[in-house]
Chains A and B, each alone.
Chain A
Amino acid sequence: MNMIEGHVAFEPAAGIPVWDIDPYAEEVLLNAEDYYAELRRHGPLVYIPKYSVLACGRYDETREIFSDHTRFVSSRGVGLNDFKYGKPWRAPSIILEVDPPDHTKTRKVMARALSPKAISGLKDAFREAAERIVDGLVAKGSFEAVAELAEAFPVTVFPKALGMVDSDRRRLVDYGAMVFNALGPDNKFRRAAMAQVPDIVPWITAACARDRLTKDGLGALIYGAADDGEVTEEEAAMLVRSFLSAGVDTTVTGIGNALWCLASNPREYDRLKADPALARPCFEEVLRFTSPVHTFARTANQDTEVAGYGIAEGTKILCALASANLDPAKWGDPDIFRIDRKPVGHMAFGAGIHGCVGQNLARLELEIVLSVLAEKVDRIEFDGEPVWRPNNAIHALDRLPLKFVAK
């Protein structure tokens, strides 16, 4: 068996175009729109020889593959490694890298803790934190928005919501970026992430232990499910850690990307100021337009077919969610950022049974940040060049110098 990046190499079925590209090259990750356009132009599926994978970037097929958990499983890893043939760098996630029926059990516990009703009590604390942070930045005028707003807000509210006593901004933010970089090939981004494991993972594990959490947070709800016998104590600890791997860096990215969208589209920001009720749809458009999670993979667990092309069991398929969200066949004018588009069905949170379990919390965080901005900030302006940060699965800003002009 010839292995590439931890999965079995294969020859594509007849008719599938072959495209010699490295989707994880730094210049591609930094200028992904061109790669996505080319990916969609090639067809519903392309074969990428460098990693011996298929890739899809059109909306219909990306949605089909991503939402069919029977044919395209997650238990064999959502990155390039096939867990059937090798041990992953950490024990597989019991919510992300798992299929039903095991997934159904853990998903239910997480979904209950993160339902709209369960999190509605967090609203006031979130608003208070957003107001305090935005007031400080308005007084300051010029600032670096990734650190001072995009990171500052989630790191202030999220560990507290979880019930964490310990806090370490750098490790909290880097943990997610590390886990997401691990989904890519053995490139410099993945190697740098793996080098961080010995520093970050023991800290996260200790900080998520039952006795390090308050009794009134989301974490306690998960440990409560262990008390009720729904999950084991060890599973509860893993689920609590998954709040941090999936819920911090992603929302940091969402806030940064939202600020970038609004600074780039001042007229859309004017519309938000005129009608702050657009905060929620505005975030949906940010998600569609900048997809914080750009690519996840699935593995074919049987011989099957998509768009008439044969797919063999064991095939890794890169699903370019960000590309599906920019597919003109689906969206008409995908390159226009329009805060009232209401892009129902976008793929930024995934789809189907693995759709982001924290999406209500993400929406609440962004709704509040955007509403507070609309109330207090007259203009959002660039104060220097924004710099993007390449990551094997995340599309995030590294630096965003901004100026807030007070109302």
Chain B
Amino acid sequence: MTNVTFIAHDGTETTIDIANGDNVMRAALANDIDGIVGECGGSMMCATCHCYVDDAWADRVGPRADGEEDMLESAACEVKPTSRLSCQIRIEPELDGLVVHLPESQT
């Protein structure tokens, strides 16, 4: 299991344990994290699981997936260099302690 902390737009912090191999979007939904919608279920067809990877972790989560950039253009909030679709962040033990920030809105 790997710890991931979500920081909501209002500053509320929630830390959850995620099974390695799972993705951040699915884990967020399973743990009732507000601020992640995940409408398409992880097929990279919407942009409702948008998150900002904390600067300290941006390099370690790796680059965006092929096609992720196109879909991020549909995000409701500003896209920054640290923007990711959380369905494309696969949890590995090296990401223990990962911090992601959630946008104000997903739709």
A interface residues, Cβ below 8 angstroms from B: 67, 104, 107-108, 111-112, 114-118, 344-346, 349-357, 359-360, 363
Q: Per a CB cutoff under 8 Å, which of A117, A350, A353 touches B73?
A: A117
**Contact mask for chain B residues 18-49; partner A; CB cutoff 8 A; 1 contact, 0 none:** 00000000100100000000111111111100
Contact B70 A349 (CB under 8 A): no
Minimum CB–CB distance for A339 against chain B, Å: 16
Question: Which residues of A are found within 8 Å of B38, using beta-carbon distances?
Answer: 344
Minimum CB–CB distance for A29 against chain B, Å: 26
Minimum CB–CB distance for B91 against chain A, Å: 16
Given A344-B29, A345-B29, A115-B42 contact (CB < 8 Å): no
29 A-B pairs with C-beta separation under 8 A: A67-B42, A104-B67, A108-B66, A108-B67, A111-B67, A111-B71, A112-B70, A115-B45, A115-B47, A115-B74, A117-B73, A117-B74, A344-B29, A344-B38, A345-B26, A346-B41, A349-B41, A351-B41, A351-B42, A352-B42, A352-B43, A353-B43, A353-B44, A355-B42, A355-B43, A355-B45, A359-B46, A360-B40, A360-B46
Question: Which residues of A are found within 8 Å of B70, using beta-carbon distances?
Answer: 108, 111-112, 115
Extra A-B contacts (15), CB below 8 Å, given A117-B74, A359-B46, A363-B39: A111-B71, A115-B73, A116-B47, A118-B74, A344-B29, A344-B38, A345-B41, A346-B41, A349-B40, A350-B43, A353-B44, A355-B41, A357-B43, A360-B40, A360-B46
| Chain B interface SS verdict (over half) | loop
Question: Which residues of A are found within 8 Å of B44, using beta-carbon distances?
Answer: 111, 353
Separation of A173 and B87 alpha carbons in the complex (Å): 34
Q: In the complex, what residue of chain A is closest to B47 when comparing beta carbons?
A: A116
